[in-house]
Amino acid sequence: MAKYQLFGEELLIWRKKQLSKGGRKVDFDWLLDLGGGLSWVTLQKLLIDPNKSLLLSESLEALEGIWMRHLEDKTPLQYLIGRCPWRDFDLAVNASVMIPRQETELLVDLALKRVGNSSEGIWVDLGTGSGALAVALAQSLYDWEGHAVDLSKDALSLAKHNLEHLAPDFQTKLHLGSWWEPLQPLWGFFSLALANPPYIPTSVINELDPVVKDHEPRLALCGGSDGLMQIRKILAGSFKALAPGGWLIMEHHHDQSDDVLKLMSQFGLVNVSFEKDLQGIKRFAIGQRRQDLNSN
């Protein structure tokens, strides 16, 4: 990797100039870190003592080009850099997938809390996008069988790339199609299903920040008029698709908890409960298929 040497003072003058053009300091420093290889800690040290030299992995011109593009059309920096750190790995991202969010990291912990002791089973990541959840499961549940589904062909090929690079020893099977449909031969066998489906009501999409609404795929965001359209579809198929005792864990919008829990019960799941995200918002719905095989 090419290295670009410069003095701390030079970098700080250049940083000030870039920030005077607009944008948020936190985003710019994130660009310096991920795009330029200058960690936040090193930057803080330079702010205290600028009389040091440093190495960047990108030229100032290249970083400035990315920053200008971000300011001009609000393209997310993750798309421009092509990477997004998530949990303890670095995912490749592009405009065909939603940028994985920090709150979604908790879905993995909630899942491992429920199935972590089971030595084997079959899991599925419904609506895999970049493959974030699938990679995390593949890295944790070694003896399981893993599947990932998406309706977007481009998303699936990026998920494939991420799985091959980040969980090379685990064979996750990828399926193109809608929710449970492409998995029909395995219905009744899934011990664990994770989903972060599109759940934003159509009317709310246009109120979102341009960084989101103008760049992230509608297919990943839009949950129909009440935001619950895709959630209903997933729940409608979950009873048949889950194994007896199998878990479904879903993320949803900040105000959908009561509705999603009610739907889970209506569609026959038991032990229905919610979990909160790091901000204390009811963000995840959890349900289980009954253990009793004859109970449908």
Applying CB under 6 A, which residues contact ligand SAM? 97-98, 100, 104, 127-130, 132-133, 149-152, 155, 178-179, 196-198, 219-220, 230
For 242, the enclosing helix (H) or strand (E) is strand 242-251
What minimum distance in Å lies between the beta carbon of 112 and ligand SAM? 16
Q: How far is the CB of 164 from ligand SAM (least distance, A)?
A: 17
CA nearest neighbour of 102 among 88, 113, 112: 88
H/E/C letters for each residue in 142-200?
A: CCCEEEEEECCHHHHHHHHHHHHHHCCCCCEEEEECCCCHHHHHHCCCEEEEEECCCCE
Element (H, E) at 8: helix 8-19
Selection from 138, 133, 107, 158 nearest residue 278 by Cα: 107
By beta-carbon proximity to ligand SAM, the closer residue of 12 and 204 is 204
Nearest to ligand SAM of 68, 212 (CB atom): 212
Nearer to ligand SAM, 150 or 277 (CB): 150
Nearer to ligand SAM, 155 or 260 (CB): 155
As measured in angstroms, the least distance from the Cβ of 115 to ligand SAM is: 18
Smallest gap from residue 154 Cβ to ligand SAM (A) = 9
Asked whether the CA dihedral 26, 29, 31, 33 is positive or negative, the reply is negative
Compare residues 128 and 257 and give the one whose CB is closer to ligand SAM: 128
Token pair 């989903």 is found at 195
Minimum Å distance from CB 252 to ligand SAM? Answer: 10
Token pair belonging to 194: 């994770």
